[in-house]
Homo-oligomer: A and B are copies of this chain.
């Protein structure tokens, strides 16, 4: 029997229980073991829960789990940065394999935790932390044996994509956000999602694996979707295009660029038909070419499914303990980021008009808003101009045209 300690019994934790329960026989046939949730860490032992729990397996004391010698695998599903980190570190030091869905922890402590796992000869797996249910990181690690990865790019945040999809279907930003919240895709405080922080964490993990070089959150340019308005959607629709929040890391001879920003994609783009809470990730390998993985970026069962594929790999001895974090030293050349940009400014003056005209390839509107497509230019130069003109973040929307 394989005993698991489950940390957290929220959406994801319940999903893990649900799947284990429904696939007991199949899992025994495949792995040769009964998989047993031996203890579950919760905050409140007396909380009413919609699922049936075996009596006596709940605890509000992490040490009960840590000190249980029969537990060999910890599934960390707290969603909490500080506690999650603490639990994972202690578990590895105590000789337990760890599976987590906690992208904030993996992003913040990737090098430390993967090295600790390697030192202890244990598995540390986090498939569910990027792309939810999509079997992405394992495939990426496999491709690395045969390929130089030159690009990773993806729609990595279901909340933003949900909001943008609803806006393209006619809602304004706040209506779309409210629906996303009501459906459980967006948090009450959506800052991490709409400002791109969540996408950046996932891109940091993906990029570090793909390029074999530590790429930190602060190495990634961050531009979210908070200032988008219905008028932007209108112009993007008129171009027969769609708007997505995309994280992108590219490697060149001279170094790498890394950015999270809104991107305008046309119908030839593989990201064009990725709607609502779906995620999609592109990997470009020098041998395999373009690979794209698409699926549910979040949700109870998809996320739990990803966690359990990691658990199965550990039980079957298919996971490596070596840290997958590479030691390449690459230069960050974000300063070279450039492209043709859609730019809408809601504050107008003669001064702004004439400067916008000077950088425009095409002027789409010059009324209460000025809307242009720029020539191909450095992102930095556009941002500098906006600063000089004293245009605040909420007064403009800037999105790169994909190609």
Interface residues of A (CB under 8 A from B): 19, 23, 26-27, 30-31, 133-135, 139, 142-143, 145-147, 267-270, 272-275, 278, 280, 285, 287-296, 299, 301-302, 304-306, 308-309, 312, 318
Contacts and interface: CB of A to CB of B under 8 A. Distances in A.
A192 to B, nearest CB: 23
A285 B22 CA distance: 14
9 contacts: A26-B146, A133-B287, A135-B142, A146-B309, A147-B305, A270-B294, A272-B273, A273-B273, A292-B292
Contacts of A139: 135, 139
A289 B285 contact: no
Contacts of A309: 142-143, 145-146
Contacts of A267: 267, 272-273
* Copies of this chain assembled into the complex: 2
A290 B273 CA distance: 14
B145 A26 contact: yes
The 6 closest A-B pairs by CB, nearest first: A292-B294, A291-B295, A289-B296, A287-B305, A288-B305, A287-B301
Contacts of A318: 318
A268 B287 CA distance: 30
A290 B285 contact: no
A320 to B, nearest CB: 9
Contact of A145 (B278, B301, B312): B312
Contact of A27 (B145, B273, B280, B296): B145
Given A139-B139, A145-B26, A293-B293, A301 B273 contact: no
A185 to B, nearest CB: 14
B145 A23 contact: yes
B135 A308 contact: no
A312 B141 CA distance: 12
A108 to B, nearest CB: 27
B134 A291 contact: yes
Nearest to A309: B142
Contact of A288 (B274, B278, B302): B302
Contacts of A285: 305
Contacts of A19: 146, 287
A295 B139 CA distance: 13
A287 B304 contact: yes
Contacts of A143: 135, 305, 309
A8 B142 CA distance: 25
A287 B273 contact: no
A289 B294 contact: no
Contact of A294 (B31, B294, B301): B294
A289 B273 contact: no
Contacts of A26: 145-146
A154 to B, nearest CB: 12
Given A145-B309, A146-B305, A292 B293 contact: yes
Contact of A146 (B23, B134, B287, B292): B23
A20 B274 CA distance: 36
A291 B289 contact: no
B308 A146 contact: yes
A174 B273 CA distance: 30
Contacts of A288: 133, 295-296, 301-302, 305-306
B289 A133 contact: yes
Given A23-B146, A268-B273, A318-B318, 7 more contacts: A135-B291, A146-B305, A147-B305, A270-B274, A288-B296, A290-B296, A292-B294
A280 B143 CA distance: 18
A295 B289 contact: yes
Contacts of A295: 288-292
B291 A133 contact: yes
Contact of A289 (B280, B301, B308): B301
A272 B291 CA distance: 16
